[in-house]
Amino acid sequence: MWRSILWGRSLLQKGLRWRAGNGQQIRTFKDPWLSRPFSFRPISMDPGEDIRVEYFINKDLHYWDFQKLNEFFLDLDKELICSIPVGFQEKDDCLSGILTKQGLTLIKVGIKRQWMQSVKRLAQTQKLNNNCGYLSGT
């Protein structure tokens, strides 16, 4: 039972994306937060540091700090980042489901994929066992 719960938790985490608020919780290069299917992460090279999204927000202007964005990101990433509104309120970052064009959450798609992988593994195991004589009774 615990394995099922942990599997579900892992699958749920894969189907979630961060919505930027104050940027304090989002690891810029490791967490999914951009509107880029399927990774939802920047394509720019990860500098290997644990930089939070808040680093790129100019708190005085309540907008993105272009100088810092230029230092770390490719144009494709900067365009996506600048499309995310940075409000005047100190709203916390939050997790939300990722939607496909059809309106289905990727969580449902992930469950289906995981189920299909389980079926394939079971079929391969059955085939292997059958080839070894386990199912034939020998």
State pLDDT tens for residues 25-78. Answer: 999 999 999 988 778 999 999 999 999 999 999 988 889 999 999 999 999 999
* Three-state DSSP state, 78: helix
| Residue 81 one-letter amino acid | I
Mark whether 92 and 103 lie in a shared domain: no
Mark whether 27 and 76 lie in a shared domain: yes
**87-128, pLDDT tens digit by residue?**
766 789 988 876 555 544 555 666 666 667 777 777 777 666
Residue 35 belongs to a domain: yes
pLDDT score at 117: 73
Query: How many domains in the chain?
Result: 2
Mark whether 128 and 69 lie in a shared domain: no
pLDDT band at 137 (very low <50, low <70, confident <90, very high): very low
Residue 70 belongs to a domain: yes
Residue 116 belongs to a domain: yes
Closest CA to 79 of 91, 66, 97: 66
Mark whether 53 and 65 lie in a shared domain: yes
Within the chain, strands assigned E span 16-19, 57-58, 63-64, 94-97
Mark whether 91 and 103 lie in a shared domain: no
Do residues 105 and 96 lie in contact, with contact meaning Cβ atoms separated by under 8 Å?
Answer: no
Asked if the peptide bond before residue 72 counts as cis, ω within 30 degrees of 0, the response is no
pLDDT score at 24: 93
Task: Name residue, tokens 């992460």.
Answer: 41
Mark whether 66 and 121 lie in a shared domain: no
Residues spanned by the domain of 136: 99-138
Mark whether 91 and 104 lie in a shared domain: no
pLDDT score at 38: 79
Residue 136: pLDDT over 50: no
Mark whether 121 and 131 lie in a shared domain: yes
pLDDT score at 138: 47
